[in-house]
Amino acid sequence: MPRAFIFVLDSVGTGHAPDAAQYGANQGTDAGSNTLGHIAEACAAGNADGDALRSGPLKLPNLVKLGLGRAAALAGGDVPPGLELDGDTDGAYASMIETSNGKDTPSGHWEITGVPVNFGWHFFPDTQPTFPADFTSAIIREGDIPGVLANRHASGTQVIEEFGHEHIMTGMPIIYTSTDSVIQIAAHEEFFGLDRLYALCATVRKLVDPLNVGRVIARPFVGKTADTFERTGNRRDYSVPPPASTLLDIAQDDERAVFAVGKIADIFAHRGVTDIRKASGNDAMMDATLQAMDDAADGDLVFTNFVDFDTEYGHRRDVAGYAKCLEDFDKRVPELLAKVRDGDLMVFTADHGNDPTWAGTDHTREQVFALLTGPQIPIGSCGTRDTFADIGATVAAHLDLPWSAAGTDMLADAK
């Protein structure tokens, strides 16, 4: 029986979605955003040569051989500079259009696994304060804290630099949001306590359930001054569960093992997961993924989110850092391919965009790529798909799982 692997390169969008004009922050809409394309253009122009981190055109030979450049061309109209390919790809490729409401992590991942978000999330207004007074009072009362800091839309790294010292001195956690349906709570691991932060986030999760807020995220940090504050790998997401059975639930119900690497378990509220592998940083998550692939038996699913693209570089609008992160990931792709056995299916994709050249610090509404490879996977284009859910349907068909969720098998016509 075959195995399947889904690897999400968090935020690596390939060109604005058809409805991108309906999305965006105060600086404008997401129409025209293109995470991969704009990074490649910056590299080709010599504008992403960051302090000896990297230089020259974007170099992703392994992903390009799988069809990345051609998938990007389906979305953006042209192959991004440096991602051209002579000859055939080593598998099938497609561009995916999101149908879910939103451009956030849960919406993208749930749709990938067959459950598009067709309801409206609750978003907090870009005002100061952003949270309603009665809600803030409930957090203080139920969380047993002296007060809150920030209480506004903010970038995670900047808000910690600004309020970190006051947080240490007062014991008040830093609570903020963004254009996503999210509440983020930052607190110092030593002076506030990691377990206490987790308990506070669990309390806030219950308080926001009636509002239908997608996630409450614990953002622990360390350091003693603004120039030494640093977020740690002990992030934890408290998500609402998907509204219907996902590919993970279906696989678990069929007594398959589902390995969740990185923040996958949190995204799905730990539902449909049989084995959780936590790690901090792309390299550590790659190591954990390789081990999970070794441990996966026939019929099993391994699902990994590689988060550094988004959290470390996209939100920080660091073009050179994002480019180097892509290149570092590409160098390790052969390690993943070496684990593929006869009958396996490996899928590389993304969940949304986060164009580091775009205004603001939020996600961008974009199409994403799907690269499908394996010994029996046909070669060539699967075109532009009208939902991310085609990935879930394709994986389910490959694993011979029952499927009544959204999406269609994109390899069906090629088999």
CATH of domain 4-119+243-414: 3.40.720.10
Cβ proximity of 301 and 248 under 8 Å = yes
**Rounded Cα–Cα distance for residues 101 and 179 (Å):** 13
| pLDDT attached to residue 136 | 97
Helices (H) and strands (E) in the chain, counts: 13, 14
Cβ proximity of 35 and 355 under 8 Å = yes
Task: Tell the residue number behind the tokens 């160098």, with chain if given.
Answer: 331
pTM listed for this prediction: 0.89
| pLDDT attached to residue 24 | 79
* Cβ-based neighbour number of residue 276 at 10 Å: 14
CA-wise closest residue to 187 among 211, 209, 168: 168
| pLDDT attached to residue 80 | 97
**Rounded Cα–Cα distance for residues 123 and 180 (Å):** 7
| pLDDT attached to residue 49 | 85
| pLDDT attached to residue 164 | 96
- The domain spans of the chain are 4-119+243-414, 133-235
CA-wise closest residue to 182 among 211, 157, 143, 140: 211
**Rounded Cα–Cα distance for residues 196 and 210 (Å):** 23
| pLDDT attached to residue 30 | 94
* Cβ-based neighbour number of residue 291 at 10 Å: 16
CA-wise closest residue to 197 among 244, 150, 145: 145
Cβ proximity of 112 and 242 under 8 Å = no
| pLDDT attached to residue 1 | 75
Angle between the N-to-C axes of helices 194-208 and 133-143, in degrees from 0 to 180, rounded to the nearest 10? 140
Cis, peptide link before residue 129, omega less than 30° from 0: yes
CA-wise closest residue to 366 among 108, 84, 123: 108
pLDDT tens digits in sequence order for the chain, 415 residues long: 799 999 999 999 999 999 999 987 655 799 999 999 999 999 999 988 876 678 999 999 999 999 999 999 999 889 999 999 999 999 999 999 999 988 999 999 999 999 999 988 899 999 999 999 999 999 999 999 999 999 999 987 889 999 999 999 999 999 999 878 899 999 999 999 999 999 999 999 999 999 989 899 999 999 999 999 999 989 999 989 999 999 999 999 999 999 999 999 999 999 999 999 999 899 999 999 999 999 999 999 999 999 999 999 999 899 999 999 999 999 999 999 999 999 999 999 999 999 999 988 889 999 999 999 999 999 999 999 999 999 999 999 999 999 999 999 999 866 5
**Class at the top of the CATH hierarchy for domain 133-235:** alpha beta
CA-wise closest residue to 255 among 276, 237, 274, 238: 274
**Rounded Cα–Cα distance for residues 86 and 103 (Å):** 33
